[in-house]
Amino acid sequence: MFIKNCVMRIFMLSNPNAVHTQRWVKALAERGVVVMLYSFRPYKDNGYYQDMNNVQIKSFTKQRELKGIRNFFPIKLLTYYRTLLKDIKASIQSFQPDIVHAHYLSDNGLFGALSGFHPLIVSAWGTDVYDYPKWSGSRARVIRYVLRKADCILSTSHVMAKEVFKYTDKEWLFVTPFGVDMSLFKPLPVVKQKNHVVFGIVKTLSHGYGIDTLIDAFALLRARRPELSISLRIVGEGKEREQLERQAADLGLSKEISFMGRIANDKLPEVINQFDIFVALSRIESFGVAVVEAMATGCPVIVSDAPGFTEIVEHGQSGLIVKRDDPQQASEAMENLVDHEELRLSLAKNGRERVRALYDWGKNVEEMISVYKLMSTNKNV
């Protein structure tokens, strides 16, 4: 069902398959915002948006079924982009939005900027400002162009906002975290093995997220304290899975370390509640949603000193912070929490309260809507 007479109309350029997009669209629609979600990626229709009021989805590539785009001659590629931009402009004209909101600067942000519509809001997600502009001068110019054309910029964290400011001096920047629904991510009654401690992580299995460091830290703790009953559960998929499984096997830890694969988002609260200690040792991190989710469930956390984590966690208060790429220090922090249950309980309590104060999803959505209202009434900023 599509309802026309709602308070605000948002034309959103974003990947409909991304969990963060799905959460934003659902939350906005529930609050009466009309959303047209436009994607030039193929949309995997799993029925997620099917029963949502106030939501339309348009997928350019799904409609035209263009294949082998990377193998096109430059002239064909240019024709494709021109056709795409023409379709975006026509869709905006037909939908008549109050705001165009492009998520991810380097692709959706670029087409949002080229559309010529204002007010234009762009959201930085992470790699679009940390990695993309560093690959070449032309890509850095793309990011500067997008930020120059935007009327407002959103960042998921203050530390990422600092990265954004390397490419713009625009003052209209707001921090809008990917928060947590605390009615879902909360302490749950689960059956746990007595006198056994489960370490856990939920993350993509790639080098930047330091899963190899976590495995080494676990191995050091196992070697130092063989009498402990401990295990490690790794939730997630990624290109380094086979390599990480070999690492665990080479360390003789195949029985103690479990690779659980990707788990549906609605199952994560139960899975995280089965952890006794959540350990995230990323080398790079712009925010760290999984850590916030763990804190919301009342699970004590150990994190690396990656800037995105240090914004979330207060060392010794709402979690423990260790140096990146330092399995020895990480293993000592893990041992500390195994040995001191009172510390675990204190960190867990404080962590949940910190999430309630700063990263409650309901509050984050209201902050986003406030930005929409501000920009829709200040169209000439």
pLDDT of residue 70: 52
Residues 312-361 pLDDT 10s: 999 999 999 999 999 999 999 999 999 999 999 999 999 999 999 999 99
Confidence of residue 191 (pLDDT cuts 50, 70, 90): confident
pLDDT of residue 256: 98
When pLDDT is averaged across residues 215-241 and rounded to a whole number, the result is 98
* Residue 356: CB atoms within 10 Å: 14
Range name among 1-15, 58-72, 264-278, 359-373 with the lowest pLDDT average: 58-72
CA 65 to chain centre: 28
Q: Tell me whether domains 9-179+361-376 and 197-358 share a fold.
A: yes
**9-179+361-376: in CATH 3.30.470.20:** no
Cβ-Cβ contacts under 8 Å for 232 (sequence gap 6 or more): 198, 199, 200, 201, 214, 215, 218, 253, 256, 257, 258
pLDDT of residue 192: 86
On whether the CB atoms of residues 105 and 128 are closer than 8 A, the answer is yes
For the chain, give the mean pLDDT: 91
pLDDT of residue 3: 41
Rounded-to-10 torsion of CA 269, 275, 276, 280: -90
Q: Is 166 exposed, middle or buried (0-12, 13-18, 19+ CB in 10 A)?
A: exposed
β-pair type (197-202, 173-175): unpaired
pTM equals 0.83
Range name among 88-97, 235-244, 283-292 with the lowest pLDDT average: 283-292
On whether the CB atoms of residues 281 and 217 are closer than 8 A, the answer is yes
Decide if pLDDT at 379 tops 70: no
When pLDDT is averaged across residues 192-204 and rounded to a whole number, the result is 94
Confidence of residue 168 (pLDDT cuts 50, 70, 90): very high
Calculate what percentage of the chain has a pLDDT beyond 70: 93
Decide if pLDDT at 86 tops 90: yes
Decide if pLDDT at 56 tops 80: yes
**Domain spans, the chain:** 9-179+361-376, 197-358
pLDDT of residue 48: 81
Distance CA 342, CA 200 (A): 19
On whether the CB atoms of residues 135 and 150 are closer than 8 A, the answer is no
When pLDDT is averaged across residues 159-185 and rounded to a whole number, the result is 93
pLDDT of residue 74: 62
Q: Enter the CATH code of domain 197-358.
A: 3.40.50.2000
When pLDDT is averaged across residues 218-236 and rounded to a whole number, the result is 98
pLDDT of residue 4: 43
Decide if pLDDT at 6 tops 80: no
